[in-house]
């Protein structure tokens, strides 16, 4: 039974499988390898995922959600129709769609997967990703960091040794990893990033700048107008390097305003975001103790790295052009598929050893008696960018006379005060009463390749050991909640695969109708009405012919495919 590799992205997702011929990217029900990470409900309450849902973002924003990966690991809920969903549940719907596509493509049941996550995802977000896989009916064999997956794809592709800097910027996250490939070993030296920096932020900056100059309050726009504005700015961002001046027709209230987007304007508003991108690159270089000249190759991953300004910034930092000869949109899925092949011991693959690092410092809170008014201080146990799997033990002593219990709070972060770090969980152990500092406990943190943390606490005087797997994750579900989630997701009805291509085309036509006026709008309405009649006839040959014709016409109207 095949194990698939999945790139669960903020903007788009993809999956692949390793075979004797190499990596095969799995096409979705529309024949495309990229599935937009968008979930919606149609007018009949049936679930739509991917391109069809994305086409409905403008006209049905109250029943369609996107970019929910940024909410992974939080307790934030998103309203979809009349129901509330967590980011984990929404991600499960995307994963379920990918699973069905893989089963159709491979002709067999798929129950196991390797899923990629941003390197800078914390424990909460990693747990939420594994849970999403479980809700989708997948046993998640392993989580793999996205930059590491990309490096595997490049390393196995080129069969070269050296130090690689992987810069992965997608729609919502930015990851930086420094890896060394030697003697069949892929070793991660450092990892850094920004979980809230991606292509979506550049588009948001464009929208804010344009509305600011027009003195228009964003809240005054309808959801449809705002989504239409978003899609126009997204298109302008993609074309700005080839077309330095673009005239956009912005709909504000009942008015249509012409707005000119220029390369100079885009560069100015992008500068703060590019400076944000530089910080994790510089931090990773410091952590790895490598000067720029020791980096053999800079590799770009993620669709947002196509921006000329980003590539120019990287070129200036390292004095060379970055590499991007593999498709940045699919390279992570390729690497995840290779790792899935390793996991299933595919005979066609040369075995490699893969090491990874802990992206955050993990530690506990201790009392510093020199500054008791400051509260608890953070005591690192596993430092960030330590190679994993790793197990480290530190000893602490009782802080009070006749203390009968020691509580071990688990945190991750880099601040000296625990209140400014991320709380992961806690455990308490009983200790014999005695004078302050008389009793001690050994705290052992064990961190594995999946980003899961196990805590062992041994009371030194008695030899008793207590164990806990840290699973306190905001947004995670109890067994009862998990069962309820599975029941809720099972009740959502997916549209049949065979209808999806037609539905996506109709949704696209409806979007274009909404954004058009006059004769153009009438013409699109006529086209859609004719296509509806042909669909009602249920003649496969006629439907196929009409679909191709409608696709060609809509391509001309659209100017550029949004997907």
> What is the CA angle 528-532-534, rounded to 5?
115
Task: Tell me whether residue 146 is one of the annotated catalytic residues.
Answer: yes
Pairing of strands 353-354, 185-194: parallel
- DSSP conformation class of 312: H
Q: Kindly tell me the sign of the dihedral angle through the C-alpha atoms of 526, 532, 538, 544.
A: positive
**Which residue in the list 54, 69, 99, 468 is annotated as catalytic?**
69
Pairing of strands 112-117, 3-7: parallel
Q: Which of 128, 292, 121 is nearest to 194 (CA)?
A: 121
For residue 402, give both structure tokens: 């006749």
Q: How many CB atoms lie within 10 A of CB 294?
A: 13
Q: Rounded to an integer, what is the distance from CA 194 to the centroid of its chain?
A: 12
Asked, as a colleague might, if the bond just before 389 is cis with ω within 30 of 0, I would say yes
Q: Concatenate the DSSP letters of all residues of 431-459 into one string.
A: ----STTT-EEEEEEEE-TTS-EEEEEEE
Q: Rounded to an integer, what is the distance from CA 11 to the centroid of its chain?
A: 8
**Which residue in the list 101, 146, 356, 510 is annotated as catalytic?**
146
Task: Tell me whether residue 438 is one of the annotated catalytic residues.
Answer: no
Q: How many CB atoms lie within 10 A of CB 215?
A: 6
Task: Tell me whether residue 69 is one of the annotated catalytic residues.
Answer: yes
CB-based contact 424:411 (threshold 8 Å): yes
- Rounded Cα gap, residues 35 and 14, in angstroms: 6
Query: Which residues contact residue 210 at a Cβ distance below 8 angstroms, ignoring those fewer than 6 apart?
Result: 229, 233, 250, 259, 261
Q: How many CB atoms lie within 10 A of CB 552?
A: 9
Residue 496 CA: distances (Å) to CA of 46, 206, 509: 10, 38, 20
- Rounded Cα gap, residues 508 and 395, in angstroms: 62
Residue 387 CA: distances (Å) to CA of 59, 187, 342, 358: 48, 8, 20, 6
**Which residue in the list 55, 89, 141, 168 is annotated as catalytic?**
168
- Rounded Cα gap, residues 121 and 109, in angstroms: 30
Residue 392 CA: distances (Å) to CA of 98, 197, 448, 456: 38, 32, 12, 10
Helix residue ranges, H only, 159-241: 199-214, 223-239
Q: Report the chain's C-alpha Rg in angstroms.
A: 26
Q: How many CB atoms lie within 10 A of CB 160?
A: 12
For residue 343, give both structure tokens: 């996991």
Task: Tell me whether residue 168 is one of the annotated catalytic residues.
Answer: yes
Which neighbouring-strand residues pair with 167? 176, 300
CB-based contact 50:367 (threshold 8 Å): no
- Rounded Cα gap, residues 490 and 63, in angstroms: 18
Catalytic amino acids? 7, 69, 146, 168
């Amino acid at each position: 039974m095949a194990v698939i590799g999945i790139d669960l992205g903020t903007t788009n997702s993809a999956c692949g499988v390793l075979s004797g011929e190499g990596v095969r990217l799995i096409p979705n029900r529309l024949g495309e390898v990229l599935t937009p990470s968008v979930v919606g409900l149609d007018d009949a309450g049936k679930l739509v995922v991917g391109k069809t849902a994305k086409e409905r973002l403008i006209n049905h924003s109250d029943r369609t959600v996107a970019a929910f990966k940024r909410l992974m690991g939080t307790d934030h809920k998103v309203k979809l129709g009349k129901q509330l969903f967590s980011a984990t549940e929404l991600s499960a719907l995307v994963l379920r769609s990918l699973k069905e596509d893989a089963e159709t493509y491979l002709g067999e049941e798929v129950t196991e997967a390797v899923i990629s996550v941003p390197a800078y995802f914390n424990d909460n977000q990693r747990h939420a990703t594994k849970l999403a896989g479980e809700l989708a009916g997948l046993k998640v064999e392993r989580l793999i960091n996205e930059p590491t997956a990309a490096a595997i794809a490049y390393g196995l592709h080129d069969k070269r040794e050296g130090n690689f800097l992987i810069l992965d910027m997608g729609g919502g996250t930015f990851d930086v990893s420094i890896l060394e490939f030697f003697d069949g070993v892929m070793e991660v030296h450092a990892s850094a990033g920004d979980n809230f920096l991606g292509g979506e932020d550049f588009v948001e900056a464009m929208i804010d700048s344009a509305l600011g100059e027009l003195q228009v309050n964003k809240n005054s726009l309808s959801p449809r107008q705002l989504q239409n504005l978003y899609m126009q700015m997204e298109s302008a961002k993609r074309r700005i390097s080839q077309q330095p001046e673009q005239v956009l027709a912005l709909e504000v209230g009942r008015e249509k305003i012409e707005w000119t987007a220029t390369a100079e304007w885009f560069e100015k508003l992008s500068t703060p975001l590019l400076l944000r991108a530089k910080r994790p690159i510089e931090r990773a270089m410091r952590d790895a103790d490598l000067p720029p000249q020791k980096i053999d190759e800079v590799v770009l991953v993620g669709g947002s790295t196509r921006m000329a300004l980003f590539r120019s910034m990287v070129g200036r930092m390292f004095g060379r052009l970055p590499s991007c000869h593999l498709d940045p949109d699919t390279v992570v899925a390729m690497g995840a598929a290779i790792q899935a092949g390793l996991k299933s011991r595919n005979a066609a693959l040369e075995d490699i050893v893969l090491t990874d690092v802990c992206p955050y410092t993990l530690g506990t809170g201790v009392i510093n008696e020199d500054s008791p008014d400051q509260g608890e201080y953070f005591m690192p146990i596993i430092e960030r960018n330590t190679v994993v799997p790793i197990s480290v033990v530190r000893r602490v002593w009782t802080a009070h006379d006749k203390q009968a219990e020691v509580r071990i709070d688990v945190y991750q972060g880099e601040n000296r005060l625990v209140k400014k770090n991320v709380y992961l969980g806690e455990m308490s152990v009983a200790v014999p009463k005695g004078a302050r500092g008389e009793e001690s406990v050994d705290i052992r943190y064990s961190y594995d390749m999946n980003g899961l943390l196990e805590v062992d606490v041994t009371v030194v005087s008695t030899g008793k050991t207590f164990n806990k797997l840290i699973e306190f994750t905001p947004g995670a579900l109890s067994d009862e909640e998990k069962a309820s989630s599975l029941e809720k997701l099972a009740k959502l009805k997916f549209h049949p695969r065979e209808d999806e291509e037609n539905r996506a085309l109709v949704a696209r036509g409806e979007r274009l109708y909404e954004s058009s006026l006059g004769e153009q709008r009438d013409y699109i309405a006529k086209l859609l009405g004719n296509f509806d009649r042909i669909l009602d006839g249920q003649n496969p040959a006629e439907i196929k012919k009409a679909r191709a014709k409608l696709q060609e016409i809509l391509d001309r109207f659209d100017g550029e495919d949004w997907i």
